[in-house]
Chain A
Amino acid sequence: MSPQIEEVGLSTTAERAAVVGAAGSTPDKDWVIVTRGLKREYDMGGEIVRALRGVDLAIRRNEYVAIMGPSGSGKSTFMNLVGCLDTPNAGEYWLSGQLVSTFKDDELARVRNKEIGFVFQTFNLLPRASALHNVELPLVYAGIGSAERKERAMEALTKVQLDNRASHRPNELSGGQRQRVAIARALVNRPAILLADEPTGNLDSTTSEEIMKVFETLANTGQTVIMVTHEPDIAQHARRVVVLRDGLIASDTKREAFSAKLVGL
């Protein structure tokens, strides 16, 4: 018996399966992310934990999606798979038209570098490096020369209005500024998706709003944003909300409907 609960979502399991298409087929260009029957299991000392039990999900270019779910729902596991930090036990993961679920470690590193911009809850800036150097790092791994690196890193910092803090170290910046540096770092290599994991988890509500505005602006300028959060009011900023429960998608709601549902409650 599947514990899957259908809410007032835009699509049922069958509908989602129809959207993601048949196994092995290359998704349409329009879909930046397609997962088909994605499964991830962990062996916890002999006991098999099924973190993801077959997730079908398709995300279009330029979408702004929040992934929600209680702890243990599999949302972290899902984020790690989408971020190419981990590989599934079964199922397919297509990212920008590439079947990355079959990729080896070095190829995954290249995909992370080129296609994904990470924003973490704890910022994860290198403490001993300046803001500028932190932002340069993905370009270092992309093999880009020093002059171009500096220029592009400066550009990215300007986008988050921190060009005047370029030489500051993380400990000389406020929480909100640190997260903006992290966003600049995530964007510097022009990734296909911006992947944010609880980006406001360590910030007060005012600063959270500030960061949400940055995301809003990025989404409005055509950046695909995927945000994992457990806070409904943060998720509310997204235009589509996917809720995971027990390793499966419990609901998949467009913003208007989601808001209506919240109002309706």
Chain B
Amino acid sequence: MHIADGVLPTSIIFTTYALSSAGIAYSLRKINPDDLPKIAVVTASFFVASLIHLPLGPTSVHLLLPGLMGILLGPAAAFLSVAVGLVLQSILFQFGGLTALGANSMMIGVPAVLCGFFFLRFQGTTLRSNVAGAAIAGGLGTLLAALILAGLLYTSGENFLRVAQLALVAHIPVVLIEAVVSAAAVSFIFRVKPEMLNWSRTLVCTNDAAR
């Protein structure tokens, strides 16, 4: 769920913008400029993936995918990719607010980066360890995103407390769905193109040996 304009107070808006800029600066510093076109191509596929709606009882939910973004793009490129996707969604595809862009990037970007770090440590070499890592990263990413959303709403004022709680509860089924979908996607990728799961290691500037 995107935070709309007008919800967050001005101080939070500027803080989240500053933090997101720091996140993007971190990404740009870590990745090799030559890799930008490649990251853009994968970002576009994530953009399309996030438009998919899964039925959930009478309604449907759309996937947030911070976990998978962290897994495939790695901690270095994930934040930049999230921010670019959100800017495009906001200015072209009529989704998400303009002044809330900072908050929305934090909400998806920070979990993506953390999941990226987690998956790099946990990945291992077997199918089972990869799938388990992906399931945990997928669930954890969405859970963190929901927690950040609730936290941002809560810091906006006391009268948002209930809305924050409700938003958190509403994300519980999404956490489970994302965990299963991420595990299935990584299991598929591991069997079809395993080198893609190590691609994120080559995106980091300092790690030239893997290139």
Q: Do A and B assemble together? A: no
Interface residue ranges, B against A (CB under 8 Å): none
